[in-house]
Structure 1
Amino acid sequence: MRRQSLPAAVSAPTPSGQRSHSDGATLKRLLPYIWQYRWRVGLALLFLVAAKVANLGVPLLLKQLVDSLDLPAGDARGLLVVPAGLLIAYAALRLSTSIFTELRELVFAKATHGASRQIALETFRHLHALSLRFHLERQTGGMTRDIERGTRALQSLVSYSLYTILPTIVELVLALVLLATKFDFGYVWITLAALAAYVVFTITVTEWRTKFRHQMNELDSKAHTRAIDSLLNYETVKYFNNEAFEAQRYDTGLDAYRRAQIKSQTSLSVLNTGQQLIIAMSLLAMLWRATSGVVAGALTLGDLVLINALLIQLYIPMNFLGVLYREVKQSLADLDKMFALLEREREVADAPGARDLQVAGATLRFEDVGFAYDPSRPILQGLSFEVPAGQTVAVVGPSGAGKSTLARLIYRFYDVQAGRITIDGQDIAHVTQDSLRRSIGIVPQDTVLFNDTIEYNIAYGRAGATRAQVEAAAKAAHIHDFIVAQPLGYDTVVGERGLKLSGGEKQRVAIARTLLKDPPIMIFDEATSALDSANERAIQAELKNASRGKTTLVIAHRLSTVVDAHEILVMEAGHIVERGSHAVLLAQGGRYARMWQLQHAAQDRREPHALSST
């Protein structure tokens, strides 16, 4: 089936050309998915605060213990303070911190995984709803990578926000309040100054190195896309002995990715070194001030321990602020890419208030239809014809005449730009696509199968079909004997895109699948092109039986397959140049008659050769 050129105005943008949103807009887009779990979020936040309060109680307890131990030598109270206070109170606080933390994660797990599942499912459904034009241009490897990263990004973003960033902020606020109430504001200003310098430095350097992360992702997607494309075209690679060439292309992508990784790692080292310098300077200032207070008698040893413990608890999570900021930014970027897929508008959408198609006799009519994939190259121009209910109309003509486009338009993979297509008088643009496609069955020229069993691929024509129904369809398509001769029978796996089957076997599976669907309208697009003459004649008889009483459109190149059609349309350059029955067209001595003579002459030349070779 020939792929037409696409207009630039509506072509799908490449990943690098997608419109990106601000981080705030991405978070706003994410909020509805989280909001449905708002009670769980609230409860998780309560557990978060409780865990941090318990955690902050640990240095306070240590201060009391140290001050209580400031006793004269030999004082008997020292024997009671250490075991009772240290072993019971300290253990209880540590246990409380762990329990509240685990409760927080347990409560919020359903929200995280539920939102992730919902977004992934919505994206999957939306991709199926997008037009054929989008899927002809897509890069499968890069697109699946974007969806995979986007789904993972949601979990990472929620995890970092709720489990690290928010707890750090809560702990920082509580620590600052404690420093301000128990000591002087000098400690608060030192902490705030260090925090400000740390945040500014981290954000500045991380923004600078974000371009390296983006570069890494783009190169990763590009290398992945090349690998997937090469593996999907395994046979083509083998035909032209290009294994080394494909390996070189893949290695070039991996090498570019490696260089980007090195740049990213180098910039990360700069970030980490600067962060540690700021933390070290602030620790030096705080401990110098606290030590001076102890020497001057203004503070106790317990106060020094408290300040030191608070600083350790604050700065340990801050060590990861750069990583967190980078990961949050990257998660937002990955989510934005997935949301960009969700925002892709459908080129073909159901009209407002569209109703289900009501099929009575299934008369199919093209009324002055005009269509072009590219405005500069019209495909169909004022095309009009009718396939009466229960009859068979065949369309023949040279490649590029627009024959296969007819099937795409009937299925509404594209909408016509002029005229209309009707079924029983109903404009297909005004009915739901689901009801329209339920009423049509097609045997395409290029058969693609799922990497599953033969039974699954045939049963795909009718969800819930029984094994007996599948076997009946396979017998009608003359493939049952081949299937039962396989070691696994109907459980034989056909491989990626059906590559384990021959072209003729794949086509017969496609025929069986359509026969099982049993729709009122049938389309055969070169349905027997991959079959030998003997099987073609046998299946033609079955297709004739299957299409009896159904509205059938046959798109063919071999004229011998359409001689029994009620009417034959000869197309050239998007126009119907001749129409009539086989006998009438031969009698006219026009384009159809010349095509018939040429095909028979070619067949006559092949037959002696076939006989001599036997």
Structure 2
Amino acid sequence: MTSTESDQLGRRVWSLFTPYRTSLVVIAVAVLLSSGLGIITPFLTQAAFDQALFPADGSGVHIELLAWLVGGMVAVPVVSALIGVYQTYRTTLLGNRVMADLRGRLFEHLQRMDLAFFTATRTGVIQSRLANDVGGVQSVLSETASSILGNVVTVAAALIAMVVLSWQLTLVAVAMTPLFLLLQVRVGRVRRKLAARTQESLSDMTAITEESLSVSGVLLAKVFNRQADEVARYREENSRQVDLQVRQAMSGQSFFAVVQTFMGITPALVYLVAGFLIAAGIGVSAGTIVAFSTLQSRLLFPTVNLLRVSLDVQTSLALFGRIFAYLDLRPRIVDAPSARTLETATVTGRVELDRVWFAYPPAPEPAAVPDGTEPVAEPAPGDGSGGDGGVAWAVRDISFTVEPGQLAAIVGPSGSGKTTISYLVPRLYDVDRGRVLIDGRDVRGLTQASVADAVGMVTQDTYLLHSTVRDNLRYAKPDADQAEIEEAAKAANIHDRILSFADGYDTVVGERGYRLSGGEKQRLAIARVLLKDPRILILDEATSALDTTSERLVQQALENATRRRTTIAIAHRLSTILGADLILAVEAGRVVERGTHTELLAKGGLYARLYTEQFAGGKVECRCADGVRFSDGATLLTGHADGRAVTGRDAA
């Protein structure tokens, strides 16, 4: 890092304290008083020797003067200690408030980051920035500022007092200081590099912990009998962390040993020089020598502390650089300056994709961003010419319209772009070309909050908080009362099941809902989106991983959810979308077919092939004489008439 970058980083760190100017002034006054009082004692000592104990006129000991001087020597440290306690309280309070601001600012910024950032960054690394990096600068925020000010004032005052007593002896005491400062700069650079590597190792350890000790990670390790490998992986990183911590702790210790050695022998050199001065006829009294020795001790410890604090600051700059690197990341999805609010009450639910192209953007690891600089801007996919431009397009020139209240289904093989399309409607990603419109308005011209209010999603991988059933439902509507919660649960076919739990709606579902079955989690997710009551609903393969009984219950809940709503369903099980108003068959990011179930089956294309593969493979409840029997009791009647395929669906 260059000196300019260090200065910029230092200014950014200092800016964290600007909201607390009053506290800084109070702390500065307390430091000045405490440090200033410490200089009084050596002069009281000099007076005690030269005027009270051994007066130059030989008049004997002045008891009354000595009593006053001793009283001053007692009062000064008492007052200084009281001020020090108050100063410690104010600095600790200030430091923790600044650190809380930094943590909150970082968390808030991460909440605004787009989905692409989180898909490319390990959760453990993010957690490490919030915990380890911010925690690592706590001492700098809570102690260093006051420590630097206090030590600077003490050193300055001590030097002035020493010059007043004897400038010759002062030169001896500070002769090696410039060399120490140069050595300190070199040691600081080494420690900063080690600090950055240490925090990277901590990030890796946190990521390993988060991955391997989560419910999913533990289950994976047990199923594949990889616990020993996970332990070995953690131990390897742990050993690396130990090595880095030791190297960081020992860096500069030789330097400090030299400094302390010189500081330790300096008083002897002072006595020697004082002897030469007295022999040369230069007047140096015994009181002056004693006072100077006292000041030397006040110079020694603050100087060593300043050198240590300076190294700590340089070490902390590496951590601040990592924190600011995250704060400098710019989310790709932001509200336009002229963004309008989509009024939920007036949304009709018309969804249109107009010649949409999209490619997933790269998301570099923020730790690679240079400290104190902004991340490098990333090129947008494509060359703007309308061709592929060498870009791995996930969606290619897709256009379709879903009218208010309609059910549109998207089907296709894995990796064809189905889920990607569903992410574009609520603006989890921005299209690279074309437009996504809700009620005729481009979502990029609407506020993200209003789009999120209008669109609800039920995904295949249901995420539940480690909290109660009620809290998980209220996540969609924090002010929902119990009647609203139960109404949504009943519509999702989960109310009776919740009441069967010992604690009912107060049942804790466990991390990611692992105490519930797959069908229960999905129905709870449906209840949550019903409580939100969005006008547009997106279902991403919500029943693909369920057994037939759970699928029937979930499907009934979905039918309740889709009533009077515009619905886009990504379907793996085609039996769930036979009655869709519009079916889009997607392959390699393109819509290759569109129409109703009957129309697409008659075409004999991709949809018909998927249909044949799915049902011929026995992925239904049974094949009966009259057709295919579904898990909900309905029957798909199949046959041929006039040389074409015909289908129908009868209720059992």
TM-score (norm 2): 0.84
Q: Does 1:276 align with 2:291?
A: no
Q: Does 1:90 align with 2:73?
A: yes
Q: Does 1:573 align with 2:588?
A: yes
How many angstroms does 1:478 deviate by? 2.0
**Alignment RMSD:** 2.7
What SS does structure 2 have at the residue aligned with 1:407?
helix
Which residue does 1:534 correspond to in 2?
A: 549
Q: Does structure 1 retain, via aligned residues, the 8 Å contact 2:158–2:298?
A: no
What SS does structure 2 have at the residue aligned with 1:523?
strand
Q: Structure 1's 57 and 449: CA in aligned 2 closer, same or farther, altered over 3 A?
A: same
Q: Does 1:414 align with 2:398?
A: no
Q: Structure 1's 544 and 44: CA in aligned 2 closer, same or farther, altered over 3 A?
A: same
Q: Does structure 1 retain, via aligned residues, the 8 Å contact 2:94–2:142?
A: no
Which residue does 2:224 correspond to in 1?
A: 240
Q: Deviations over 1:136-191 (max 9, x none)?
A: 1112222222222443355422344332222111111112222222x332233233
Which residue does 1:55 correspond to in 2?
A: 38
| Inter-partner Cα distance in structure 1 for 2:141 and 2:46 | 35
Q: Tell which deviates more after alignment, 40-49 or 484-493.
A: 484-493
Which residue does 2:269 correspond to in 1?
A: 285
| Inter-partner Cα distance in structure 2 for 1:443 and 1:209 | 49
Which residue does 2:235 correspond to in 1?
A: 251
Q: Does 1:301 align with 2:301?
A: no
How many angstroms does 1:310 deviate by? 0.5
Question: What is the correspondence of 1:576-591 to structure 2 with a 5 Å cutoff?
Answer: 576-591=591-606
Q: Does 1:314 align with 2:299?
A: yes
Q: Does 1:519 align with 2:506?
A: no
Q: Does 1:393 align with 2:376?
A: no
From 11, 21, 26, the equivalent of 1:38 is: 21
Give the counterpart letter for 1:157 in structure 2. V
What SS does structure 1 have at the residue aligned with 2:617?
helix
How many angstroms does 1:505 deviate by? 2.1
Give the counterpart letter for 2:513 in structure 1. G
Q: Tell which deviates more after alignment, 108-117 or 558-567.
A: 108-117
What SS does structure 2 have at the residue aligned with 1:603?
coil
Question: What is the correspondence of 1:477-496 to structure 2 with a 5 Å cutoff?
Answer: 477-496=492-511
Uncovered stretches (5+) of structure 2, i.e. residues with no partner: 362-380, 382-390, 624-628, 630-652
Larger relative contact order (CA 8 Å, sep ≥ 6): 1
Greater fraction helix: 1
| Inter-partner Cα distance in structure 2 for 1:246 and 1:347 | 35
Q: Structure 1's 469 and 312: CA in aligned 2 closer, same or farther, altered over 3 A?
A: same
Q: Tell which deviates more after alignment, 24-33 or 511-520.
A: 24-33
What SS does structure 1 have at the residue aligned with 2:301?
helix
Which residue does 1:185 correspond to in 2?
A: 167
Which residue does 1:4 correspond to in 2?
A: none
From 105, 108, 122, the equivalent of 1:139 is: 122
Q: Structure 1's 128 and 433: CA in aligned 2 closer, same or farther, altered over 3 A?
A: same
| Inter-partner Cα distance in structure 1 for 2:347 and 2:197 | 57
From 18, 29, 53, the equivalent of 2:12 is: 29
Give the counterpart letter for 2:538 in structure 1. I
Q: Structure 1's 509 and 20: CA in aligned 2 closer, same or farther, altered over 3 A?
A: farther
Question: What is the correspondence of 1:313-352 to structure 2 with a 5 Å cutoff?
Answer: 313-352=298-337
| Inter-partner Cα distance in structure 1 for 2:92 and 2:235 | 39
Q: Does 1:594 align with 2:609?
A: yes
| Inter-partner Cα distance in structure 2 for 1:338 and 1:260 | 20
| Inter-partner Cα distance in structure 2 for 1:293 and 1:469 | 93
Q: Does structure 2 retain, via aligned residues, the 8 Å contact 1:366–1:384?
A: yes
| Inter-partner Cα distance in structure 1 for 2:452 and 2:304 | 57
From 197, 200, 212, the equivalent of 1:218 is: 200
How many angstroms does 1:109 deviate by? 4.4
Which residue does 1:198 correspond to in 2?
A: 180
Q: Does 1:403 align with 2:403?
A: no
Q: Does structure 2 retain, via aligned residues, the 8 Å contact 1:451–1:494?
A: yes
Give the counterpart letter for 1:220 in structure 2. L
Q: Does 1:230 align with 2:212?
A: yes
Q: Tell which deviates more after alignment, 396-405 or 503-512.
A: 503-512
Give the counterpart letter for 1:273 in structure 2. A
What SS does structure 2 have at the residue aligned with 1:320?
helix
From 478, 486, 489, the equivalent of 1:471 is: 486
Uncovered stretches (5+) of structure 1, i.e. residues with no partner: 1-17
From 546, 553, 564, the equivalent of 2:579 is: 564
Q: Tell which deviates more after alignment, 512-521 or 598-607.
A: 598-607
Q: Does structure 2 retain, via aligned residues, the 8 Å contact 1:271–1:322?
A: no
Percent sequence identity is 32
What SS does structure 1 have at the residue aligned with 2:321?
helix
Which residue does 1:114 correspond to in 2?
A: 97
Q: Deviations over 1:544-589 (max 9, x none)?
A: 2222111111111111101122121111222222222223333334
Q: Does structure 2 retain, via aligned residues, the 8 Å contact 1:156–1:331?
A: no
Moved over 6 A (4+): 18-21
TM-score (norm 1): 0.89
Q: Structure 1's 262 and 108: CA in aligned 2 closer, same or farther, altered over 3 A?
A: closer
What SS does structure 2 have at the residue aligned with 1:201?
helix
| Inter-partner Cα distance in structure 1 for 2:620 and 2:249 | 68
